[in-house]
Amino acid sequence: MKKTVPNGFTLIELLVVIAVIAIVGTFAIANFRSFGEDKELENAALDIQSQVRTAQANASSGLKCENTTALQWRNDFYRQSDGYKIRLSCINDGTFTPKSPRYLVLPANIIIENIVVDGSSNSLPNLFTENPWGGSYATTVFNTPFAEISFRCNINYPTSGCSGGVPDGKVTIQLKNTKTNSTKQVIIDKGGRIYVQ
């Protein structure tokens, strides 16, 4: 009598294949989530770049500030209870009260980790210690009519030499995603170039 060979798979072979598929699927899902988180960080950096470019363009074009010639267009970086914010506003008088503000609020897991000003000793970690007045803040300023950039941080920040001036090199805004620990930088060159790295 002739012996027949079974044409199917054994139970052990099927279990091994299912286990391999489950492991590969787990890694694929984890990488997909990480990709989404990194995309959120990149989008936040691009939003900041756009906001800073808007201030620069408004200053260089001489856009008016509430029907009056603007002295400067600026971006204030600070933190409040609802997250990190960048306020785009204009100044048109000697009181330097921001007018017509527009806010960019970063997603909850995206933080401004540091602002570094090249050409000086100013590195501003923990800049955004929250207080009832909105916390300490840093400002990039584009003075009209030539959109010359300067940098300031408010007087509540306990670092001397942080009052401002034109940076010798560049201002680097360091962003961090607290879920993935990945980082991005928005860089403002003295020459006016604004880019994400």
Q: Considering only 39-48, 118-127, 153-162, which range has the smallest mean pLDDT?
A: 153-162
pLDDT level of residue 50 (50, 70, 90 thresholds): very high
Q: In sequence order, which residues have a C-beta less than 8 Å from that of residue 174 and are 6 or more positions away?
A: 112, 113, 114, 115, 116, 183, 184, 185
Where are the extended beta strands (E) located within 81-126? 83-91, 99-105, 110-117
| Per-residue pLDDT, 180 | 87
The answer, yes or no, to whether residue 57 has pLDDT greater than 70, is yes
CA dist., res. 139 & res. 152, Å (int): 5
| Per-residue pLDDT, 117 | 76
Residues 169-187, mean pLDDT to the nearest whole number = 88
Q: Which residue has the higher pLDDT, 159 or 91?
A: 91
Residue 40 C-alpha from the chain's centroid: 10
DSSP classification of residue 65: B
The answer, yes or no, to whether residue 158 has pLDDT greater than 50, is no
The answer, yes or no, to whether residue 133 has pLDDT greater than 50, is no
The answer, yes or no, to whether residue 126 has pLDDT greater than 60, is no
What mean pLDDT is reported for the chain?
A: 77
Q: Considering only 62-66, 163-167, 177-181, which range has the smallest mean pLDDT?
A: 163-167
User: pTM of the entire structure?
Assistant: 0.73
| Per-residue pLDDT, 132 | 36
| Per-residue pLDDT, 175 | 92
| Per-residue pLDDT, 93 | 75
CA distances from 150 to 28, 157, 183 (A): 45, 17, 25
CA dist., res. 55 & res. 45, Å (int): 16
